[in-house]
């Protein structure tokens, strides 16, 4: 624990030996292609299709139920999504028909012979307008366009009243895609012996996918096995059940044969779910020094056409309402978050979930307050952060911050970018005319949320426990089996490190098995930065269950008293001798005659359920600091320096945490500066290829420096806090604050992501600046 060990999975990945769904081939497998709606909103009047046995529309799929995500949140409206469109299409790219053939190209040729007649309806493209004017509705049976509307109020009036400074802003985060390297992919077949489905899917949560497929195909869960092989990035996109997955599973069930679908990049960009699109009207109330008194916000989420199973669209507004107050100590709060239906692909949570948006809103508001009271933003931020002495701290939204020193992360970040030097340099003009700006953003991130939190989000399946199975194999190696899954997080290594920490066995002798419902204990999977907090506790507890068993067997073999025998560095050590785990395991499994007949330790494998001491999660946190140069003539932004100081409690593997932080920050920089899925007024997507949709690469991502603080959580196994999402939360806020610091002499403020050159230049021109 705490060692920078190289990842066990790297040899496989770096030598091209990873096995993704695209690498799997089953005899006789057919490839599936989907015909997708060319219009954003319309009625399907009829379809003519070739007389091929392998072309299907919705009416051919009687056995498959529509996907229906249910939520316990007040005002939530469930909406059925048929696996292929039924009667209506509600976004460009919605699957209307599918064809199957030995190759994808042949399947696409079959699609060309399908003709669908549509009656076009006016689309709803702009969420704010859809909310104001519900005369056009994607779901005509509703009387407005709201999926749901959530609110929270606590101490608002009395605190806001005391304010001497009020700042009000409208802020927008644009719609974007999630672009994992590997798109969604699914291969399903029928196992004659098990009389059930086997579904290979690029999934974060194989056990949940199993429930979903069984539920919507009307099968018992025991007749569905889901295997998630190597997964090439997921980021939230691969947590919920997708219509295409249900279609492919239905084909395998219907024809008792293998079918596969692999999403291509264009399909991902136009038809895959979108994310991030939030609009804020936010007002900050403070005293004359900038001490925050209250926050008031009206938030609109553009939810697209459909909810999802099983998280539902309710998760995003649920997280907005709970997390908007950020890491701050204040007592007046009023918020409303509306989730609006539009004729665009559905919305899925993406790394950081709603917190990238709320951090952007809150952190730019802190900076605006600082400017209003004429003080340094870092000073005002620092004075408002929950101090270390107040931990554990319950905030205005009743979140329980477990531990940490938030102000110190800001101090360290300020030193890391040499703040004073940059401020001094700002006072002299740059020879190239560019403007320098410095920005900070601090956030805290609830990770490994437990039962009460998911219950409050109204979810159908509520994670509470995490289970793990640990086995000493007959040759004395260790096998760890867990239902969480790794799709880049390196969990084959970090869970092995946890087992090593308890048992002392060499990492090379520990094998971690993930991603197969037939081989791992039930789990709701990997998301919400929960895996290491939850699974490390389960793995450690399972290992600890085995220790007395190994000791008992060893004591008998060495004829020593049990109390004199210990497990030490992977060996069972007695007063006079010691035994390897191989010797112990061989005796137990294969030579029980060497043991007295009354030895019954209960076996050398144990499945144990674990949950943290509190179920409100562990809060990791970080401060991001950015220095930018903005060209006022071009609107272009260059990141000159970027530093992150983060605290995720006890570090299992600092190298993996650094990798997670960098990857997340790259995605956050994408949100801040580059990535956008725009739509025209007809609901046509304008970014359908990587020529239009800009993903930052090595050239755009600066050399990010990371420093760690390590405050163990008092509530979790080993004091670990989750952090897989964190890097993606703060970059839009930190960069926007830096850009606005740079543009301050021009009296210009940017309030929208991505901060493309066009947007920055337009804002400069609007302000009448040179």
Binding site for ligand SMO (CB under 6 A): 204, 235-236, 239, 349-351, 353, 527-528, 725
**Pairwise CA distance, residues 171 & 176, whole Å:** 16
Q: Which is nearer to ligand SMO, 210 or 371 (CB)?
A: 210
Stretch that binds ligand MCN, among 42-50, 102-110, 310-318, 655-663 (CB under 6 A): 655-663
Q: Is 42 in the site for ligand MCN (CB under 6 A)?
A: no
Contact by Cβ (8 Å): 630, 435: yes
User: In the range 436-465, which residues lie near ligand MCN by CB under 6 A?
Assistant: 447
Pick one of ligand SMO, ligand MCN, none as the site partner of residue 720 (Cβ within 5 to 8 A by kind): ligand MCN
Task: State how beta strands 185-191 and 196-201 pair.
Answer: antiparallel
Please state the closest distance from residue 465 (CB atom) to ligand MCN, in A.
15
Stretch that binds ligand MCN, among 183-191, 296-304, 380-388, 531-539 (CB under 6 A): 531-539
Q: Which is nearer to ligand SMO, 353 or 416 (CB)?
A: 353
Q: Which is nearer to ligand SMO, 303 or 439 (CB)?
A: 303
Please state the closest distance from residue 633 (CB atom) to ligand MCN, in A.
38
Residues with Cβ within 8 Å of 741's Cβ and at least 6 positions away in sequence, in order, are: 367, 377, 437, 438, 439
Please state the closest distance from residue 753 (CB atom) to ligand SMO, in A.
18
Q: Which is nearer to ligand MCN, 537 or 649 (CB)?
A: 649
User: In the range 657-696, which residues lie near ligand MCN by CB under 6 A?
Assistant: 657, 660, 663
Residue 30: what are its φ and ψ, rounded to 5°? -110, 145
Single out the residue of 384, 299, 310, 307 nearest to residue 346, CA to CA. Answer: 307
Please state the closest distance from residue 490 (CB atom) to ligand MCN, in A.
4
Q: Which is nearer to ligand SMO, 61 or 733 (CB)?
A: 733
**Pairwise CA distance, residues 377 & 369, whole Å:** 8
**Pairwise CA distance, residues 209 & 211, whole Å:** 5
**For residue 225, cis peptide bond before it (omega within 30 degrees of 0):** no
Q: Which residue is nearest to ligand SMO (CB)?
A: 236
Q: Is 176 in the site for ligand MCN (CB under 6 A)?
A: no
Contact by Cβ (8 Å): 206, 485: yes
CB-count burial class (<10 Å; 0-12, 13-18, 19+) for 62: exposed
User: In the range 707-766, which residues lie near ligand MCN by CB under 6 A?
Assistant: 720-725
Mark residues 213-252: x for contact with ligand MCN by CB under 6 A, - for none.
--------------------xxxx----------------
Q: Which is nearer to ligand SMO, 176 or 426 (CB)?
A: 176
Pick one of ligand MCN, ligand SMO, none as the site partner of residue 284 (Cβ within 5 to 8 A by kind): none
Q: How far is CA 696 from CA 175, 534, 669, in A?
A: 16, 32, 8
Q: Which is nearer to ligand SMO, 377 or 664 (CB)?
A: 664
Residue 578: DSSP 8-state: E
**For residue 343, cis peptide bond before it (omega within 30 degrees of 0):** no
Please state the closest distance from residue 527 (CB atom) to ligand SMO, in A.
4
Q: Is 610 in the site for ligand MCN (CB under 6 A)?
A: no
Please report, to the nearest 10 degrees, the dihedral formed by the alpha carbons of residues 572, 575, 576, 581 taken in order: 0
Structure tokens at 328: 């701050």
Stretch that binds ligand MCN, among 74-82, 308-316, 489-497, 629-637 (CB under 6 A): 489-497
Residue 146: what are its φ and ψ, rounded to 5°? -100, 120
Please state the closest distance from residue 660 (CB atom) to ligand MCN, in A.
5
Of the residues 322, 326, 490, 668, which one makes contact with ligand MCN according to CB under 6 A: 490
Q: Which is nearer to ligand MCN, 68 or 513 (CB)?
A: 513
Q: Is 531 in the site for ligand MCN (CB under 6 A)?
A: yes
**Pairwise CA distance, residues 418 & 406, whole Å:** 19
Pick one of ligand SMO, ligand MCN, none as the site partner of residue 490 (Cβ within 5 to 8 A by kind): ligand MCN
Please state the closest distance from residue 275 (CB atom) to ligand SMO, in A.
9
DSSP string, 134-163: TTS-SSTTSSSSEEEEEEEEESHHHHHTT-
Contact by Cβ (8 Å): 468, 542: yes
Pick one of ligand SMO, ligand MCN, none as the site partner of residue 239 (Cβ within 5 to 8 A by kind): ligand SMO
Establish how many alpha carbons lie within 13 A of residue 571's alpha carbon, considering only the half-sphere containing its beta carbon.
9
Stretch that binds ligand MCN, among 153-161, 553-561, 653-661, 679-687 (CB under 6 A): 653-661
Pick one of ligand MCN, ligand SMO, none as the site partner of residue 530 (Cβ within 5 to 8 A by kind): ligand MCN
CB-count burial class (<10 Å; 0-12, 13-18, 19+) for 72: middle
Pick one of ligand MCN, ligand SMO, none as the site partner of residue 656 (Cβ within 5 to 8 A by kind): ligand MCN
Contact by Cβ (8 Å): 81, 243: yes
Q: Which residue is nearest to ligand MCN (CB)?
A: 488
Q: Is 494 in the site for ligand MCN (CB under 6 A)?
A: yes
Residues with Cβ within 8 Å of 326's Cβ and at least 6 positions away in sequence, in order, are: 358, 359, 362, 363, 442, 443, 444
Cα dihedral 550, 552, 557, 563 sign = positive
Residue 210: DSSP 8-state: H
In 209-312 the beta strands, taken as DSSP E runs, fall at 224-227, 259-262, 278-286, 292-302
User: In the range 343-372, which residues lie near ligand MCN by CB under 6 A?
Assistant: 351
Stretch that binds ligand MCN, among 115-123, 165-173, 189-197, 521-529 (CB under 6 A): 521-529
Q: Which is nearer to ligand MCN, 419 or 619 (CB)?
A: 619
**Pairwise CA distance, residues 221 & 120, whole Å:** 40
Of the residues 41, 104, 268, 530, which one makes contact with ligand MCN according to CB under 6 A: 530
Chain residues binding ligand MCN by CB under 6 A are: 233-236, 351, 447, 487-491, 494, 526-533, 648-653, 656-657, 660, 663, 720-725
């Amino acid at each position: 624990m705490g060692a920078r060990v190289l990842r066990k999975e790297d040899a496989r990945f770096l030598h091209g030996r990873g096995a993704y769904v695209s690498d799997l081939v089953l005899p006789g497998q057919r490839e599936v292609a989907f015909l997708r709606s060319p219009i954003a909103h319309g009625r399907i009047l009829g379809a003519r299709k070739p007389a091929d046995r392998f072309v299907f529309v919705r009416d051919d799929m009687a056995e498959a139920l529509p996907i229906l995500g249910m939520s316990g949140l007040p005002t939530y409206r469930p909406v059925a999504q048929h696996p292929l469109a039924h009667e209506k299409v509600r976004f460009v790219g919605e699957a209307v028909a599918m064809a199957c053939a030995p190759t994808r190209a042949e399947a696409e040729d079959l699609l060309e012979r399908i003709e669908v007649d549509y009656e076009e309806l006016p689309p709803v493209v702009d969420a704010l307008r859809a909310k104001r004017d519900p005369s056009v509705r994607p779901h005509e049976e509703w009387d407005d366009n709201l999926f749901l509307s959530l609110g929270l109020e606590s101490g608002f009036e009395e605190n806001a009243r005391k304010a001497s400074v009020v700042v009000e802003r409208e802020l927008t985060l644009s719609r974007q895609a999630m672009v994992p390297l590997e798109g969604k992919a699914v291969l399903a077949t029928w196992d004659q012996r098990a009389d059930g489905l086997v579904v290979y899917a690029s999934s974060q949560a194989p056990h949940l996918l199993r429930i979903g497929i069984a539920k919507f195909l009307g099968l018992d869960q025991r007749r569905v096995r889901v295997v998630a092989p190597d997964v090439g990035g997921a980021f939230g996109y691969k947590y919920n059940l997708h219509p295409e997955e249900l279609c492919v599973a239905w084909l395998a069930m219907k024809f008792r044969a293998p079918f596969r679908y692999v999403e291509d990049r264009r399909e991902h960009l136009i038809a895959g779910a979108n994310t991030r699109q939030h609009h804020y009207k936010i007002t900050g109330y403070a005293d004359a020094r900038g001490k925050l008194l209250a926050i008031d916000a009206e938030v609109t989420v553009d939810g697209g056409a459909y909810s999802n199973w099983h998280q539902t669209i309710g998760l995003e507004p649920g997280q907005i309402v709970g997390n908007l107050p950020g890491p701050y100590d204040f007592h007046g709060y009023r918020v409303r978050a509306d989730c609006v239906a539009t004729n665009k692909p559905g919305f899925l949570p993406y790394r950081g979930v709603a917190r990238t948006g709320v951090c952007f809103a809150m952190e730019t508001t802190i900076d605006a307050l600082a400017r209003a009271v004429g003080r340094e933003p870092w000073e005002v931020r620092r004075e408002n952060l929950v101090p270390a002495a107040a931990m554990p701290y319950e905030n205005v939204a009743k979140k329980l911050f477990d531990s940490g020193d938030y102000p110190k992360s800001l101090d360290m970040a300020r030193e890391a970018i040499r703040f004073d030097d940059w401020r001094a340099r700002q006072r002299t003009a740059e020879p190239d005319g560019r403007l320098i700006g410095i920005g900070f953003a601090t956030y805290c991130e609830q990770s490994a949320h437990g039962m009460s939190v998911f219950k409050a989000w109204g979810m159908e399946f509520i994670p509470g426990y995490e289970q793990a199975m640990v086995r000493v194999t007959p040759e004395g190696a260790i096998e760890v089996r867990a239902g969480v899954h790794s799709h880049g997080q390196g969990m084959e290594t970090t869970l092995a490190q946890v087992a090593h920490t308890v048992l002392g066995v060499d990492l090379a002798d520990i094998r971690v098995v993930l991603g197969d419902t037939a081989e791992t204990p039930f789990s709701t999977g990997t998301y919400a930065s929960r895996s290491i907090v939850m699974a490390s506790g389960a793995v450690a507890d399972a290992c600890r269950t085995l220790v007395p068993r190994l000791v008992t067997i060893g004591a008998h073999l060495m004829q020593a008293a049990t109390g004199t025998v210990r497990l030490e560095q992977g060996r069972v050590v007695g007063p006079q001798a010691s035994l390897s785990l191989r010797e112990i395991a061989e005796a137990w499994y294969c030579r029980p005659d060497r043991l007295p007949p009354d030895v019954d330790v209960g076996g050398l494998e144990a499945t144990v359920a674990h949950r943290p001491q509190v179920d409100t999660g562990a809060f990791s946190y970080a401060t991001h600091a950015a220095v930018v140069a903005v060209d006022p003539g071009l609107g272009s932004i260059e990141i000159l320096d970027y530093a992150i100081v983060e605290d995720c409690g006890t570090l299992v593997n600092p190298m993996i945490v650094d990798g997670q932080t960098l990857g997340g920050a790259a995605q956050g920089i994408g949100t801040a500066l580059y990535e956008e899925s725009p739509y025209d007024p007809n609901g046509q997507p304008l970014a359908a290829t990587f020529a239009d949709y800009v993903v930052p690469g090595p050239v755009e991502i600066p050399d990010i420096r990371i420093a760690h603080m390590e405050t163990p959580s008092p509530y979790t196994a080993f004091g670990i806090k989750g952090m897989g999402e964190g890097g993606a939360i703060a970059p839009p806020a930190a960069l926007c604050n830096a850009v606005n610091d740079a543009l301050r002499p021009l009296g210009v403020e940017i309030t929208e992501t991505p901060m493309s050159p066009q947007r920055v230049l337009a804002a400069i021109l609007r302000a009448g600046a040179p």
